[in-house]
Amino acid sequence: MKKEDLKKKYNLKLQELEKHNRLYYQNSKPIISDSNYDRLKSEISELERKYKFLNSKNSPNINVGYKPSKTFEKYVHKIQMLSLSNAFNEQDLNNFEKKNFNFLNKKIKFEYSVEPKIDGISASLTYIDKKLTHGVSRGDGKVGEVITNNLKTINDIPHEIQADDFPQEIEIRGEVFIKKKDFFKIKEKFANPRNAASGSLRQKNPSETKKIPLNFIAYTFGYTSDEDFKFQSNFLKKLKKWGFKTSKHNKVFNSISELVKFHKNFEETRFDLDYDVDGLVYKVNDISLQTRLGFTSNAPRWAIAHKFSADSAKTKILNIEIQVGRTGALTPVAKVQPVNIGGVVVSNATLHNEDEIKRKDIRIGDIVNIERAGDVIPHVIGVEKNKRSKNSKTFEFPTNCPSCGYTTIKEYNKITKKYDAVRRCANDGFGCEKIAIEKIKHFISKEALNIDGFGKKVVEKFWELNLIKKPQDIFSLNYSKIAKMDGWGELSVKNLKNSIENSKKLSLQRFIYSIGIRHIGIENAKLISENLKNASHFLEIIKSKKFEKFLNIDGIGETQIKSLKNFFSNKLNTNIVIELNSILQINNEKINANGILKDKNFMFTGKLDGISRAEAKSLIDKNSGTTLSNINKNLDFLVIGDKPTMRKVEQAKSMGIKIISLKELKKLLD
């Protein structure tokens, strides 16, 4: 890459980091996960390392965070609150140790204090003459904010110390966090426990902070008038004696291999902890060695954070629930012990289908590894079979629909000669409660009726309250009842009424799609509506059940016909569509009914020169012609391109159908 481009790339990354710093430190509203934030930082560092000409005063290697906001009084930390360098594997840890050997010019047998890296917000507490005088946030590491009164609301923080050996002045540092079980009570408001802790700590009014139960675990010191601490592990014991909470998982180890082993075990059971931990912190235990090793510009040389995997975590399956989708598919979902994966709290994971459960032998009570990457729904990667209890039982997939009790089926695919992996409720339609709810959600969705202010949650609420049981109920809602409901006001009810009224006018294509019939998506709804031209034709076919007529439509095949037949074999479904037709104003397809190809039927075979099949079809359409997908007596023209299917050509010839080239078709149109 050219120097200029590299600079551009580097500056863009810095700008992005600046934006996220602002969102996090000033607004307390981060929009990316910690792991993605860390990744962005290391990408910048990597660029600086590779290309020495890249540097900036805004580099994260110079600046630790972001300037504190204006709401709180500022406080210059006597000793900077730095961050930690990250390690992701054994090699990173070996490098960390090797660098320290080099720095001290000696191979020392380091002893390490090992502490869980609680995923919260760091805070500093200054005690003078055993009294808490001020509590400060980290801010940008150099300047923090005075949040003493908010910190004082936390029960774990002593306001006064009794012990005789407490230093005359000392700054105790630690992590403020919220327990998982408390986070679950307020999970609608925050993406993860860390955001909840941050938001609560930065409330203007301490009584607001008090509403969210926060905790504090102490782990280090900043400025102190007493320089007599010899080992980090002893300091942690002292903290406990003085009345601070410390982690019960703190340990001391003597080698990198021991650290790696402990990390592996800890990562596997971290979901059992009451709070989020995103790694382990290893600190050289001997404080005199810490002093000699000192700091780089933004992190101590004597400590490192060994992070857990950012996109996967182990957890326990608490239950397996079967969800029923819009088209009757039964999807098993694992309800798991909540676990924070890369900043997102995961409590559900898809198990895909019955076969997947069988293949992986997934059972209730199993310890599983769950992956969450990007926007993909979290899923189970594998089961820790050796951790399974003796009385664990194979999961029995239900053979009847858990919603309506109807039989379920696995379809047989004639082409692959295999049964489908997905089991479905055979009661496809509004007769099954769960299917009906999903169909209504589909009915109001963007591509269907597109009713503003009527989301999936509203459907669920209205269903629960018996306001809607069928799609047509939407058009006779009890608005006075809704206006009295929580979260609804006069204005929102008026808006809802308007958008429902506006949604009544729609095209035939949207209407067909909105019914939510399996295999009739937007494209097929378009093909059918273009062929039928108006709603009354559609209704005729529904009533007479002559769906075979659609076989003429290029793109509609046996699968779609079978699905339509199945759906409309249910009287309830048919009646719903008939009733909807009488409520809605379905526009006929805008067509050039008197075009030059009026009443003429065409079919294509072979590759057309310079024009796609879709374009050719639309050309016929625009001129009022119809495209058929098979040869029958109604066909007028067979248009042949390169390498046509000879069987079709022969058949057309024998039936006296005109055979023309694309050129000839175009000539017709001229």
| Shorter beta-carbon distance to ligand IVH: residue 176 or 512 | 176
**Cα–Cα distance between 355 and 330 in angstroms, integer?**
12
- The burial of 560, by beta-carbon neighbours within 10 Å (0-12 exposed, 13-18 middle, 19 or more buried), is given as buried
Give the nearest distance from C-beta 383 to ligand IVH in angstroms.
Answer: 31
> What's phi and psi for 475, nearest 5 deg?
-90, 5
**Cα–Cα distance between 277 and 314 in angstroms, integer?**
13
**Which position among 41, 117, 307, 316 bears the catalytic label?**
117
Give the nearest distance from C-beta 375 to ligand IVH in angstroms.
Answer: 27
Cα distances (angstroms) measured from residue 13 to each of 30, 37, 40, 82, 192 = 17, 11, 7, 22, 25
Give the nearest distance from C-beta 101 to ligand IVH in angstroms.
Answer: 20
| Shorter beta-carbon distance to ligand IVH: residue 141 or 365 | 141
- The burial of 271, by beta-carbon neighbours within 10 Å (0-12 exposed, 13-18 middle, 19 or more buried), is given as buried
> Quick one: which of 469, 472, 387 has its CA closest to 431?
469
Tokens standing for 635? 């066909």
Q: What is the DSSP string of 15-26?
A: HHHHHHHIIIII
| Shorter beta-carbon distance to ligand IVH: residue 154 or 367 | 154
Q: How far apart are the first and last CA of the chain?
A: 53
| Shorter beta-carbon distance to ligand IVH: residue 300 or 625 | 300
* Exposure letters 648-670 (e unless 16+ CB within 10 A, then b): bbebbeeeebeebebeebeebee
Give the nearest distance from C-beta 225 to ligand IVH in angstroms.
Answer: 20
Give the nearest distance from C-beta 173 to ligand IVH in angstroms.
Answer: 7
Give the nearest distance from C-beta 334 to ligand IVH in angstroms.
Answer: 30
Which residue(s) pair with 642 in the sheet?
607
> What's phi and psi for 653, nearest 5 deg?
-60, -45
| Shorter beta-carbon distance to ligand IVH: residue 118 or 541 | 118
Between vectors from CA 48 to CA 42 and to CA 49, what angle results, nearest 5°?
85
Tokens standing for 51? 């290309």
> Quick one: which of 121, 155, 152 has its CA closest to 138?
121
Tokens standing for 648? 């079709």
Give the nearest distance from C-beta 342 to ligand IVH in angstroms.
Answer: 16
| 213 CB-near residues (< 8 Å, 6+ apart) | 178, 179, 182
Give the nearest distance from C-beta 113 to ligand IVH in angstroms.
Answer: 9
Cβ 236 vs Cβ 219: under 8 Å: yes
Cβ 44 vs Cβ 59: under 8 Å: yes
**Cα–Cα distance between 106 and 101 in angstroms, integer?**
5
Helix (H) or strand (E) holding 266: helix 256-269
| Shorter beta-carbon distance to ligand IVH: residue 141 or 557 | 141
| 513 CB-near residues (< 8 Å, 6+ apart) | 447, 448, 520, 521, 522, 525
Cβ 23 vs Cβ 65: under 8 Å: no
**Cα–Cα distance between 573 and 579 in angstroms, integer?**
10
| Shorter beta-carbon distance to ligand IVH: residue 220 or 327 | 220
> Is 261 annotated as catalytic?
no
Give the nearest distance from C-beta 140 to ligand IVH in angstroms.
Answer: 12
CA 27, 31, 33, 38 torsion-angle sign: negative
| Shorter beta-carbon distance to ligand IVH: residue 281 or 556 | 281
Give the nearest distance from C-beta 115 to ligand IVH in angstroms.
Answer: 4
| Shorter beta-carbon distance to ligand IVH: residue 84 or 367 | 84
> What's phi and psi for 378, nearest 5 deg?
-55, 140
Q: What's the DSSP call for residue 158?
A: -
Give the nearest distance from C-beta 80 to ligand IVH in angstroms.
Answer: 8
Cβ 114 vs Cβ 259: under 8 Å: yes
**Which residues would be at the binding site for ligand IVH (CB under 6 A)?**
82-84, 115, 117-118, 122, 175, 219-220, 281, 300, 303, 305
Cβ 565 vs Cβ 520: under 8 Å: no
Contacts by 657-662 with C-beta closer than 8 Å and gap 24+?
657/631, 662/608, 662/609, 662/611, 662/616
Q: Would you say how long the chain is, in residues?
A: 670
| Shorter beta-carbon distance to ligand IVH: residue 216 or 430 | 216
Strand runs labelled E in 540-579: none
| Shorter beta-carbon distance to ligand IVH: residue 122 or 573 | 122
Any idea which residues carry the catalytic annotation?
Answer: 117
